Amino acid sequence: MQREKHRTISEPKHLPKEKKNGTFLIEITKKQREEGATKQQIILPCIPMGATEINSRVGVWRDDQQWTYFLGGHPVYSHRADDRRMFRLVTAQLIESGGCRQVDIIRTFGVPKRNVIRAVNKLRQEGVEGFFKPRPARQGGTVLTPPVLAKAQSLLDEHHSRSEVAKELGVKYDTLRKAINDGRLKEPTHLQFQPNHPVIR
């Protein structure tokens, strides 16, 4: 009897492989595993327990000492609870990087919209350094020191106008006006009432 030649038939690659326990295991390629892991990360909760949700991806954990920001479950920023400059910087960076929107920051922290817009513009125009530049010294009441006030009062007593006094002392007109209004300087009356002149009613 002529023996029949047995042919080896290879299994199609797409068929599931049988495991030892009789069940089938579907082969998953490396690319599929990576794609699956990425999709799974998207649907997993990203906000740590106890943190305040800014949006579905970003949260902040706060106590009396420290604020820590999380992006996708990972800590990305941290600053002292009373550090307002770092708060403005961090929230501006979250917005600029696409982590959240301006409305998310406004809603979560209750800050005015103009403050959020100002912080974002500062980051875009001046960078991180812009949040830590020393503030210029305020020009105000300290300009009118006692010697300057004495000189101003002397000039006013001589019936010099406000503009003339301000120019002579090198101070702003509004600064001099405020000093007169709040009583630090007294402006004499220029026109004295004359009994011989009729009173206009």
- Pairing of the two strands 52-53 and 24-25: unpaired
Q: Which tens digit of pLDDT belongs to each residue from 172-185?
A: 999 999 999 888 99
Check if the beta carbon of residue 55 is closer than 8 Å to that of residue 104.
yes
Q: Which two tokens stand for residue 65?
A: 């000492």
Q: What residues are paired with 147 via a beta bridge?
A: none
The better pLDDT of the pair 59, 199 is held by 59
The better pLDDT of the pair 184, 13 is held by 184
Task: Output the pLDDT for position 94.
Answer: 97
Q: Which two tokens stand for residue 104?
A: 């998310």
Q: Which two tokens stand for residue 49?
A: 């327990």
Straight-line distance from the first to the last Cα atom of the chain, in angstroms, rounded to the nearest whole number: 146
pLDDT > 90? residue 88: yes
Average pLDDT, whole number, for the chain? 77
Task: Output the pLDDT for position 99.
Answer: 94
Determine the residue type at 125.
Answer: Q
Determine the residue type at 118.
Answer: R
pLDDT > 60? residue 193: no
Q: What residues are paired with 67 via a beta bridge?
A: 62, 79
74-80 sheet: strands from edge to edge: 52-53, 58-62, 66-71, 74-80
Q: What is the mean pLDDT of residues 103-131?
A: 95
Task: Output the pLDDT for position 113.
Answer: 94
Alpha helices in the chain (DSSP H): 30-43, 84-96, 102-109, 113-126, 146-157, 162-169, 173-181
Check if the beta carbon of residue 59 is closer than 8 Å to that of residue 53.
yes
Strands (E), the chain: 17-18, 24-25, 52-53, 58-62, 66-71, 74-80
| Model confidence, pTM | 0.49
The domain segmentation of the chain, as residue ranges, is 52-132, 141-181
